[in-house]
Amino acid sequence: MTYRAPVADIAFALKHGAGFMQALADGLHPELGESDVDAVLEEAGRFATDVIAPLNRLGDQHGTLFKNGTVTMPPGWREAYRAWAEAGWNGLAAPAEWGGQGLPHAINAACNEMWNSAAMAFGLGPMLTMSAIEALAEHGSEPLKAAYLPKLVSGEWMGTMVLTEPQAGSDVGALRTKAEPTGDGSYRLTGQKSFITYGEHDLTDNIIHFVLARLPDAPPGNRGISLFLVPKFLLNADGTPGARNDVRAASIEHKLGIHASPTCTMLFGDRDGAVGYLVGEENRGLACMFTMMNQARLGVGLQGVAIAERATQQALAYARERRQGRAAAAREEGPSPIIAHPDVRRMLLTMRGLTVAARSICFATAVAIDRSELLPDEASRKVAHERASLLTPVAKAFSTDIGIEVASLGIQVHGGMGFIEETGAAQHLRDARIAAIYEGTNGIQAIDLATRKLPQSSGATVHAYLGELRDTVSGVITANDPAFGATGARLAEAVESLERATHWMLGELDSRPQSVLASATPYLRLFAHAAGGCMLADAALAAMRTGDGTADADGRIALARFFANHIAVLASGLERTVVEGAASVTEGDAALA
Amino acid sequence: MTYRAPVADIAFALKHGAGFMQALADGLHPELGESDVDAVLEEAGRFATDVIAPLNRLGDQHGTLFKNGTVTMPPGWREAYRAWAEAGWNGLAAPAEWGGQGLPHAINAACNEMWNSAAMAFGLGPMLTMSAIEALAEHGSEPLKAAYLPKLVSGEWMGTMVLTEPQAGSDVGALRTKAEPTGDGSYRLTGQKSFITYGEHDLTDNIIHFVLARLPDAPPGNRGISLFLVPKFLLNADGTPGARNDVRAASIEHKLGIHASPTCTMLFGDRDGAVGYLVGEENRGLACMFTMMNQARLGVGLQGVAIAERATQQALAYARERRQGRAAAAREEGPSPIIAHPDVRRMLLTMRGLTVAARSICFATAVAIDRSELLPDEASRKVAHERASLLTPVAKAFSTDIGIEVASLGIQVHGGMGFIEETGAAQHLRDARIAAIYEGTNGIQAIDLATRKLPQSSGATVHAYLGELRDTVSGVITANDPAFGATGARLAEAVESLERATHWMLGELDSRPQSVLASATPYLRLFAHAAGGCMLADAALAAMRTGDGTADADGRIALARFFANHIAVLASGLERTVVEGAASVTEGDAALA
């Protein structure tokens, strides 16, 4: 079965769980009404379902073809990409002054989920282009922006993020690619880069590489990195692509998944140096990179959600159709659809619960980014920025971890059929696996959360968030609806566990940083279990408030309850691991001898 | 990097954690000394490392070739298989009267782990043959045994398990393949079977299919199933393979993993009926099947351990070699090996802890099987048989679940390199994924544990086991070694959680079976966390008792401590899910609408 964009679910998660209605009520998007939002999502859903989703299987089977330095995309991909760009989707959240539609990041996030559900290998290229647009718009010089932004925003050209080198992966500061000033304002780059997504392809007439490199006199490490814009084709005086620049793909990788996304080894300057232009200031490339990265991290989190959504849809459809064994509770004779068997239902509820929780966290991050840009006063913008910064590593790591878990459960629901490639369930697991690695491994996300995000404003940022989670718990308890079962009690415990664990993390940060590093991943998971559980409950409360039947209050309550009983309930154990388990890691050498 | 059989670790787990030394002390294997066990394991380790392991990658890349009904195995596989069989490994635990070596199941289990670590697609065929040998030896008529067992035991022919049909997967009772008596004592079979592992190949000159089918007058469902032996080539009067029987492979599957294991759709009797011979009694095929199945379930559990071990070895080697970032605790300048980073170490400890725990559970199951056959009095044999029955679903489901988890973590440790197929880490995840599905999905294992194994002897079986776990906890507390940290406390809580959850499961079984079905999977996981944690602690205590440095007491204590703090600690949450979470599943329809 193929993918059908769950537009109503996405719209509800955006408006209620993630707080976009509040942003509308706060007047942050005066040009938008609720019906505009619905219309955009509806149209995106149609495009994702009708045009992109059919490419997914074919892209997986066909892969990309590398020959003489060129990459040929799978059949139909170029046409679909061009139709997608022409419809304006690439510039949805880009500034209007560069040809974008200037819509909120939150709406773009919702659309990004759909592009990536339809085909993750398709969604990945534009995601990087959007990140590059952010960086160039924020840090680029006016002439550079004028020359490149309109084509990047329209999607006529695509952008890449060129960071990794064989010896510089997670530690980007170890990179060696050199950039030498030529005196005419440009630079000549030489070096080899690896794992460059969409480094070469035939979707667009030019490819704009955003490359981290080191100036001759640069200090070592992260403080000596600069960002350069390196076009595949240099521009003619009229702005059209002209001479070929000295940059080329040397090979592509044979990967577990996202076969239709070319992952290239790129050679810069193996003749006379690749012409590049500085973006931002010299030696301040890391700041520019983080502009790209933060956007991309949310984007990758959305890929986790996207794969989880697609895997859940497919497993649900199979479980409703496939008959096997008679369920004990079945009324009809003969074999029951397997969704009637409690353990299959448990798997499906796990899949859906994790998916919706991760979606809510990602969308809430996007809403916070909008607020950080649009709120009227600087202090509020800072608060929103820190909220977005707090949630970004959770959005990235939790969503991509559960993307893998949900895709794996999807295979399990299919039984033996799940292991057969023709079924399509296996592709989701293969595709999902990379998202926990790229744009900063999930371990690095956890460390970012623990060591940089928790201490923001001396802990005030995380404590304000914990306060909101407590409010949700109170709301559930006050609602006093028996359908919630023990949801309130379990979420209250989860939030308390998170509070104590947060207190511990903040307390240890200066005195025992090794312990904080050892506990970072279970802490992030605990954070996501508490936050995700509360956001599901919040959505259920919002649905109850609508008072009509359209918001599926029953379904949302049932999902929140399942999540509380089966997932959030692990919080107490995770808390214990966080506050007591670090020594067993840091002193665990003997067990790995 | 390739696989190196961890012979010392395996021998220790077998002798101590799993209780094989006790079996020796009890005089169950009078012909064996400890040094004999070591010698067999050493030799198996050498064969697995030197001969089989090099086939793994090649088998994955090459796969099997299907053409005109024949299957060609990857280059080198036939030679390796024949050398393996000639060395006597296939008949290691088979009865001496049929040419086997009659060694304990426990030793065979240890060897099976090594064959499957070396190449899971290789180990799978013999595993099924060994299961078929069990069934034929236990249920076959004397002439049938005389004609087939010697060649199956020697490995000159291989056996298959032919159960599944497109409409009969988990519900084997829905099968339709027909067997009609011919009057000469044989039967003619007609029907189509799917997902038949090693259904066709060129490793051996004959293939002996063990086929479930239905007699013309058979009652419906499970009680109308009979088991038949259907050779690919009928035997001449002198016992050599003669005329081709009417059975053939129609196609092979394109699978996510184990590419070198041919998975066939088999057609029986599409000309004039496949000649088959009844094994056991008419309509009693299910009992024969379970003889095969129980053996195979332990074998599949060992596959989970095997993949986990190989993935852990590879990740450890990479983490020691790959340098990236300077660890905070590093003494030397420059980038540290990533094993020095706490979060990487946490992943590696998780991998090793889960692997060793699963291995211990599997080996303990095998030891219980030996006891169930060899103990002098019937009552003791029954107790041992019920212990083996209790542990088998845990061994199968937990080990294969963690096989997937560990293989996935192994990719994560490799970072971007893990996603590249050349690295080899991805193959482990692809291979591991099937083990949670075949030989009874892990959901079915959990249901088997909850509904058939817990009630054995009115709960006495599980309570006796819980008593042993409590003894281990007391041992840890009594040892009073500070290196154990909170191990005793965490394990005590885990065992208490398991006791309460067990009480709840037994109490609900008659009154609310749906709740028990809904809670079965979290219950099994809780069981494994408590049991696995205790077995690691038991091994640590045993190592301390040896008093010399060879048993690596420090490493075993450190691993037990990590497992208690990071894995067993989830027990309280799992308990809560078991006893409170069922309603959110059984009443969760609205969330899946």
Cβ proximity of A276 and A229 under 8 Å:
yes
The structural domain count of chain B equals 3
Give yes or no for B520 touching A (CB within 8 A). yes
Q: Are residues B63 and B177 in the same domain?
A: no
- In this structure, chain B runs to a length of 593
| Radius of gyration of chain B measured on its C-alpha atoms | 24
Q: Which whole number is the average pLDDT over B233-253?
A: 98
Query: Residue B199 gets which letter from DSSP?
Result: S
The residue-averaged pLDDT of B310-316 equals 98
Work out whether strand A178-181 and strand A247-252 pair parallel, antiparallel, or are unpaired. unpaired
Domain span at B31: 7-154
The CA-CA-CA angle for residues B331, B333, B336, to 5°, reads 75
* pLDDT tens sequence across A191-209: 999 999 999 999 999 999 9
Q: Which of A134, A165, A405, A439 is catalytic?
A: A439
- Long-range Cβ contacts of B235-243 (<8 Å, 24+ apart): B235/B147, B239/B147, B241/B205, B241/B206
For residue A264, give the 3-state DSSP assignment. Answer: strand
Q: What tokens does B370 get?
A: 């030996």
Contact A592 B434 (CB under 8 A): no
What does the mean pLDDT of chain B come to? 96
Alpha helices in A339-377 (DSSP H): 342-374
- State the DSSP string of A286-342: HHHHHHHHHHHHHHHHHHHHHHHHHHHHHHHHHHHH-B-S--TT--SSSPPBGGGSH
pLDDT at A137 over 70: yes
**Cross-chain residue pair B255–A352, CB shorter than 8 Å:** no
Instruction: Answer yes or no: do A467 and A537 share one domain.
Output: yes
pLDDT band (50, 70, 90) for residue B379: very high
pLDDT number for residue A117: 98
Sign of torsion over alpha carbons B115, B118, B124, B125: negative
**What's the pLDDT tens digit per position in A200-247?**
999 999 999 999 999 999 999 999 999 999 999 999 999 999 999 999
Contacts of A194 in chain B (CB under 8 A): 416
Residue pair A196/A162 in contact by the 8 Å Cβ criterion: yes
Beta bridge mates, B179: B189
Do residues B228 and B248 both lie within one domain?
yes
- Which of A257, A348, A438 shows the shortest C-beta gap to B592? A348
The answer to whether position A359 is within a domain reads: no
A168 in a domain, yes or no? yes
Is B303 within the bounds of a domain? no
* Amino acid at the residue A212: L
pLDDT in tens, A15-72: 998 999 999 999 999 999 999 999 999 999 999 999 999 999 999 999 999 999 999 9
Q: Chain-centre distance of CA A489, in angstroms?
A: 31
Q: Are residues A119 and A194 in the same domain?
A: no
Say whether both B47 and B147 belong to one domain: yes
- Distances, alpha carbon A28 to alpha carbons A35, A112, A372, B120, in Å: 16, 21, 11, 58
- Provide the 3-class DSSP secondary structure of residue A208: strand
Q: What is the CATH number of the domain that holds A23?
A: 1.10.540.10
d(CA A47, CA A55): 12
The residue-averaged pLDDT of B315-332 equals 92
Domain assignment of residue B336, yes or no: no
Quick one: B111 and B139 in the same domain? yes
Task: Indicate whether B557 belongs to any domain.
Answer: yes
- If asked whether residues A127 and A169 sit together in one domain, one would say no
Report whether pLDDT(A266) > 80. yes
Nearest to B557 by CA among B490, B485, B499, B502: B485
The fraction of chain A above a pLDDT of 90, given in percent, is 95
At B448, give phi and psi (nearest 5°): -60, -45
Do B571 and B510 fall within a single domain?
A: yes
Give B447 to chain A, closest Cα distance, Å: 9
Same domain assignment for residues A15 and A104: yes
Question: Catalytic site residue A34?
Answer: no
DSSP secondary structure string, B127-174? HHHHHHHHHHHHHS-HHHHHHHHHHHHHTSSEEEEE--BTTBSS-GGG
Query: Å from B399 to nearest chain A CA?
Result: 15
In this structure, are residues B300 and B400 in contact, taking their beta carbons and an 8 Å threshold?
yes
Average pLDDT (A518-543) is 97
Q: Which of B253, B286, B319 is the last residue of a domain?
A: B286
The ipTM of this complex is 0.98
Q: What is the DSSP letter of A64?
A: -
Residue A547 has pLDDT above 80, yes or no: no
Name the token pair of B292: 């095969």
Could you tell me if A149 and A277 lie in one domain? no
Return d(Cα A537, Cα A492) in angstroms, integer. Answer: 12
Q: Is the pLDDT of residue B1 over 80?
A: no
Average pLDDT over residues A482-501: 98
In this structure, are B30 and B150 located in the same domain? Answer: yes
Q: Min CA distance, A72 vs chain B (Å)?
A: 20
pLDDT at B292: 82
Contacts of A443 (CB under 8 A, 6+ apart): A520, A521, B341, B343, B344, B347, B412
Site of tokens 């090649």? B58
Residue position matching structure tokens 């139709």: A83
Burial A435-458 (b: 16+ CB within 10 A, else e): bbbbbbbbbbbbbbbbeebbbbee
In angstroms, the separation between the Cα of residue A429 and the nearest Cα of chain B is: 9
Tell me the C-alpha distance between B305 and B119, whole Å.
Answer: 13
B255 touches chain A (CB under 8 A): yes
| A303 located within any domain | no
Q: What is the DSSP letter of B229?
A: E
Residues on chain A touching B537 (C-beta within 8 angstroms): none
By C-alpha distance, which of B273, B209, B205 is closest to B239? Answer: B205
Domain boundary among B286, B318, B333: B286
Degrees, nearest 5: CA angle B157-B158-B159 = 130
Give the torsion sign (CA, B425, B118, A415, B568): negative
Of B241, B269, B286, which residue sits at a domain end? B286
Distance in Å from the first CA to the final CA of chain B:
48
For residue A536, being part of any structural domain is answered with yes
Q: Can you give the three-state secondary structure of A568-582, one letter per residue?
A: HHHHHHHHHHHHHCH
Spacing of C-alpha B290 from chain mean position:
15
**Residues A447 and A495 occupy one common structural domain:** yes
CATH value at residue A165: 2.40.110.20
Q: Does the distance separating the beta carbons of A335 and B174 come in below 8 Å?
A: yes
Q: In B, residues 388-427, which contact A (CB 8 Å cutoff)?
A: 404, 408, 411-412, 415-416, 418-422, 426
d(CA A592, CA B561): 13
Tokens of A102: 């200037």
Structural domain includes residue B457 = yes
